[in-house]
């Protein structure tokens, strides 16, 4: 496959169909396009699959915070770092249900439960499964992010009614060992395979601004775009530097050009045209102008209100004001028996990525 030409015009709609055979060279060539050309291409792909004026609105809840044994250099929930995050026990089913009822009353159709575990123990699965069944009984879609899963655990969660599972790959495989030493990236890929094999949908992305190079950002997106199935949602996190974490001490996020973040969004949109590309952590520190560029580049999902696990998130009023200024509106969806999204009711996710605490 030849590299991307900066002067090649946008092809017809068939060219916007999802591909899984991207070469790393092609991905790097996309990053190297002139900024206006890259945004033009990404916007064209976005329009071929979505209404560019609609944004999926998501909200966040953590059902078990802190105390994680991993050493992720970005994460304030790692117990080895002194970040001020206090570990909590798993919430009771009734407490989770109360949050789910509130979410449904506010117009949510999907509820996701996130726990700060490296991986759940087998004895934890029945507790989470009970939450899933009870939330499902409210008429909500269910989502969870619990860390790494075995094949049997994934099957058990699916049997309980779980629809979506979030599990980020964090960064480029070449850079992974610089960020995490307590697991291998293959562990993440194995969990994603277990989730797909169980018949659940995936939410998978990562973090930029951790000191990686552009080539490594290309490698991160290339890994996602060449999975057997593209993630249904792709959260792109801009590192939030939390005091006490190794990356905060290195101040890596200061070196990330905002335009490079927009390029990452645009390339993600081109590589995974039918996926939701989500502006995840880091929005609190983004200007309205930077967020607007991200929407132009193909982002069509955000976290809305509430605190993003252990890092801040723009308040609801600011988001509503920005939507009004840009002429954007929350995405309207309904979900049929096969899990396909169609126009209808407000689609608001509750949670995302308990495994990317600082992002």
Residue 352 has pLDDT above 70, yes or no: no
**One of 110, 188, 217, 278 is an active-site residue; which one?**
278
Residue of 74, 54, 22 lying closest to 240 (CA atoms): 74
Domain boundaries, the chain: 33-358
Q: What is the pLDDT of residue 83?
A: 64
How much is the average pLDDT of 231-250? 85
pLDDT single digits (tens) 176-203: 989 888 888 999 999 999 999 999 999 9
- For the entire predicted model, the pTM comes to 0.84
204 is a catalytic site residue: no
112 is a catalytic site residue: yes
Which CATH number applies to 33-358: 3.50.50.60, 3.20.20.70, 3.10.20.70, 3.30.413.10?
Answer: 3.20.20.70
The residue among 224 and 139 whose pLDDT is bigger is: 224
**One of 41, 75, 217, 357 is an active-site residue; which one?**
75
d(CA 85, CA 67): 9
The residue among 12 and 190 whose pLDDT is bigger is: 190
25 is a catalytic site residue: no
Please, which pLDDT band fits residue 75 given cuts at 50, 70 and 90?
confident
Tokens of 168: 């980020």
**One of 41, 110, 203, 269 is an active-site residue; which one?**
203
**One of 41, 72, 217, 357 is an active-site residue; which one?**
72
How high does pLDDT run on average in the chain? 82
Q: What is the pLDDT of residue 344?
A: 32
How much is the average pLDDT of 276-288? 89
Residue 12 has pLDDT above 70, yes or no: no
Q: What is the pLDDT of residue 357?
A: 37
Q: What is the pLDDT of residue 290?
A: 96
The residue among 355 and 256 whose pLDDT is bigger is: 256
* pLDDT above 70 coverage of the chain, percent: 81
Contact 200, 160 (CB under 8 A): no
pLDDT single digits (tens) 94-149: 999 988 888 777 656 678 888 888 889 999 999 999 999 999 998 888 889 999 99
């Amino acid at each position: 496959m030849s590299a991307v030409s900066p002067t090649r015009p946008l092809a017809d709609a068939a060219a916007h169909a999802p591909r899984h055979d991207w070469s790393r060279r092609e991905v790097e060539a996309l990053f190297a396009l002139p900024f206006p050309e890259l945004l033009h291409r990404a916007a064209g792909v976005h329009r071929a699959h979505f209404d560019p004026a609609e944004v999926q609105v998501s909200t966040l809840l953590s059902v078990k915070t802190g105390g994680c044994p991993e050493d992720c250099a970005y994460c304030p929930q790692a117990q080895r770092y002194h970040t001020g995050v206090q570990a909590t026990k798993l919430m009771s089913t009734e407490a989770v249900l109360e949050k789910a009822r509130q979410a449904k009353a506010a117009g949510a159709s999907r509820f996701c439960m996130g726990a700060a575990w490296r991986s759940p123990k087998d004895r934890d699965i029945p507790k989470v499964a009970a939450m899933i069944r009870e939330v499902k009984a409210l008429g909500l879609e269910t989502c969870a992010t619990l860390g790494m899963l075995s094949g049997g655990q994934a099957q058990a969660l699916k049997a309980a009614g779980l629809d979506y599972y979030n599990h980020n790959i964090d960064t480029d495989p070449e850079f992974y060992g610089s960020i995490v030493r307590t697991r291998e990236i293959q562990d993440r890929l194995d969990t994603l395979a277990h989730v797909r094999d169980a018949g659940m949908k995936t939410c998978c992305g990562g973090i930029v601004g951790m000191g990686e190079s552009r080539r490594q950002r290309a490698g991160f997106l290339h890994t996602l775009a060449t999975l057997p199935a593209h993630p249904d949602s792709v959260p792109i996190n801009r590192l939030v530097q939390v005091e006490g974490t190794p990356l905060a001490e290195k101040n890596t996020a200061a070196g990330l050009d905002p335009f490079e973040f927009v390029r990452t969004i645009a390339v993600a949109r081109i590589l995974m045209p039918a996926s939701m590309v989500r502006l995840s952590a880091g929005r609190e520190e983004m200007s309205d102008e930077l967020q607007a560029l991200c929407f132009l580049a193909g982002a069509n999902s955000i976290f809305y209100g509430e605190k993003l696990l252990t890092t801040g998130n723009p308040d609801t009023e600011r988001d509503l004001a920005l939507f009004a200024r840009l002429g954007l509106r929350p995405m309207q969806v309904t979900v049929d028996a096969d899990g396909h999204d169609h126009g209808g009711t407000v689609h608001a996710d509750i949670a995302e990525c308990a495994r990317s605490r600082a992002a």
